[in-house]
Amino acid sequence: MKQILLAFLFIVAFCEYGSAQCTTTNATSCQCDSVGDTDCDLLPDITISWYALENYLGGPSEYSQTGNGVDNGRLKVTGSTPNIGHGPLTVRGQDNAGNRTFLCGTDTFTYPSTGTFVCPNGYPTPMQITTQRIYHKNGNTMTYWDRYSAPMTYHPSHNHIHFDDWGVFTLRIQDPSEPDPRNWSIVGSGHKLGFCLMDYYQCSASSANHHCKDSNTVYGQGTTWYNGNFPNWQLGGGNYGCSVVEQGISSGYTDVYSEQLDGMWINIPPGTCNGQYWIVYEVDPHDAILEEDETNNYTAIPFSLTLQTAPGNPVVKINPMGSPNVCTGDSVMLRATAGSSYLWSTGAVTQDIMAGPGTYTVTVTNYCGTATSSPFTVTSSPVPNAPVADDDTVCYGTSGVLNASGTNVIWYDSSGAEIGTGNSYTTPVLTSTTTYWTVDQGVYNGIINNVGKPDTLSAGGYSNSTNYCLFDVYRPLTIKSVKVHANGAGTRIIQLFDEIGVVQASGSYYLPNGPSVVTLNFPVMPGKNYSLRPAGSNYNLWRNTAGAIYPYTMADTISITGNTAGGSNWYFFYDWEIEVGGATCVSSSTPVTATVEICNSLSGSNLDRNINVFPNPSDGHFTMEIYLPLETPVSMRLLDVAGREIERQQFGGIQGLLIHNIDMGEHSKGIYLMEILIGEGVYYRRISVQ
């Protein structure tokens, strides 16, 4: 049905668009945002419709906490995102040469537009680098420029652009004194990984009536716009879809993510009482795209919960938004159960406070009643002293050894990338003075317990099943380790997914044949329906087909609630080691310098590292660079594979940098040998002409 509707809209759009004078190639009748301006960027302006949120498919759907399977405690919502701007939202997954760019960990790869991309370095989940195309009017001339937007999650099974956090939705309690609903107390939340951006509806009375308004931020307000109200209506073409090349929303069109789609829900915390709440929906909350107005990407509607807990017996908790063990001088955010009023033991009257070491309570009033939390304690751990480090002086073309004091020393280069650990660090070969930085790390363990099925003692076998266990997290924690049983030694990839399938942590691990413990150290924030999964198609790990008794729970911390196959199956990971309250405190950094100097003698020196020939291979044009600290005679011969000399050069006495360009364009393709004589030393390079 969706494809039939879109096909009809595309035909209509083509008929009306064919003779238009405001297109992505013709700016004649396009209007700028500023009246009278004829030279401007035509930017999109994405909004979120309160009318669609309240009315589409009958409005939000509430589910009670039990009896609904995976929908327990969910509030399902719909998001319609009209583009009311002067230009289209155009997001591209490839450049003009037809190439896509992916991030695999810290490595970048270019790949053609066709075919499914898999990280060559074994990294399991790539991110795709996307661009936003901005159309520019200059008189009658239309041009464009591309700006990089944030990298987005790439799913090989879909092989097209996604949009992380396209929608973020929360259930909140209204604060009448605060006009911005995004600042009201949060009860529960959810977010959506956009499957694709598309022209789902025109802003017309027949297809998206009342979705498109000049203002959508205030419930019940705003003037409805139809096609003719948009100065550059249909700019973009009206035919954006799930393309690997580009997606988007044309001016005067809207995209719709209905509550029937995966991830379109808010998780209502157990114990939430029935009453009047507000649903707040924000699109592109991180401003990944450039728009005319970055302040109107939200809306809110009132909604009454009727299937939750009856008022009475209120329970108030303090939830840390990070480890409650902080480093000296630091603090952690504490969040109280949502309410209409708060009173902390510090005198604060907000839902969240920043708290240093100490013990805290909070009194909250909400629809359940008024109650005071149990005391919550924030502890602290000391920050180590900065390492005491020794500089080093090295000869040109050699490595240096740098030393620093400390318990857990880490070394960084000038870009901030970690390059080593331990009390000493051996530099690469240096040709110039280089400064590094080092810090000391204090690692303090929290409370460690185990949860989950402890062993494999029940029916089962080795498997490559795509099923997995599901778990809920109630406070920030770290999954320190898990036990696995592997059929065959080798590398396996293990990933942590959130509820909507976004990878939150990932690692590659070498597993021996048989049982072993895998150290993960995956940090996890509170949330529902997380999963640990092996990646790939041939991980061959043991799983049980019987014997699991759900839930496996660590009180107020974590609960492994079931699995995607149902029944008493258990998948792959046993005896989870969970840490709560750990801390890693990092010292200030200490600079350490390796000073490079010209040494006084070449006696006994190996100058091989002072010779560089590039590019290699090449089309026959090479550059030879040699650095000599003292004046030394240099000569060079080029030999073919038969040992015949095809070129000889005498350079005489050289001190400093010798640069010599070699042109072998007249010689046939193949391998050649370069013989370089420096003083009494002989050095060789194999070069390839292609």
8 A C-beta contact, residue 325 and residue 356: no
Torsion sign across C-alpha atoms 40, 41, 42, 45: negative
How, if at all, do strands 376-381 and 325-327 pair? parallel
- Retrieve residue 530's tokens: 């997380």
- pLDDT, tens digit, for every residue of 33-72? 999 899 999 999 999 999 999 999 999 999 999 999 889 9
- pLDDT value of position 599: 61
Cα 246 from Cα 130, distance rounded (Å): 9
- pLDDT, tens digit, for every residue of 151-183? 898 888 788 888 999 999 999 999 999 999 999
**C-alpha gyration radius of the chain:** 32
- Retrieve residue 191's tokens: 């977010």
- Retrieve residue 303's tokens: 């909604």
- pLDDT value of position 603: 46
One-letter amino acid at 51 equals Y
CB atoms within 10 A of CB 290: 15
CB atoms within 10 A of CB 16: 14
Confidence bin at 219 (pLDDT 50/70/90)? very high
8 A C-beta contact, residue 305 and residue 278: no
8 A C-beta contact, residue 283 and residue 297: yes
- pLDDT, tens digit, for every residue of 356-396? 999 999 999 999 999 999 999 999 999 999 999 988 888 77
- pLDDT value of position 412: 96
- pLDDT, tens digit, for every residue of 11-41? 333 333 333 689 999 999 999 999 989 999 9
- Dmax over CA atoms of the chain, in Å, equals 97
Beta strands in 220-348 (DSSP E): 246-249, 253-257, 265-267, 275-283, 298-305, 318-320, 325-327, 332-336, 341-344
- pLDDT, tens digit, for every residue of 221-238? 999 999 989 999 999 999
Residue 134 CB-half CA count within 13 A: 15
Residue appearing with tokens 């014997």: 547
Which CATH homologous superfamily contains domain 447-580?
A: PHR domain (2.60.120.820)
pLDDT higher than threshold 90 for residue 333 = yes
Query: Contacts for 156-160 with beta carbons within 8 Å, 24 or more apart?
Result: 156/116, 156/117, 156/118, 158/195, 158/242, 159/115, 159/116, 159/117, 159/244, 160/93, 160/196, 160/242, 160/243, 160/244, 160/247
Average pLDDT, the chain: 91
Cα 386 from Cα 186, distance rounded (Å): 40
> Which CATH code is given to the segment(s) 600-689?
2.60.40.1930
- pLDDT value of position 192: 92
Three-class secondary structure assignment of 90-158: EEECCCCCCEEEEEECCEEEEEECCCCCCCCCCCCCCEEECEEEEEEEECCEEEEEEEECCCEECCCCC
Nearest to 307 by CA among 590, 528, 546, 72: 72
pLDDT higher than threshold 70 for residue 555 = yes
- pLDDT value of position 76: 97
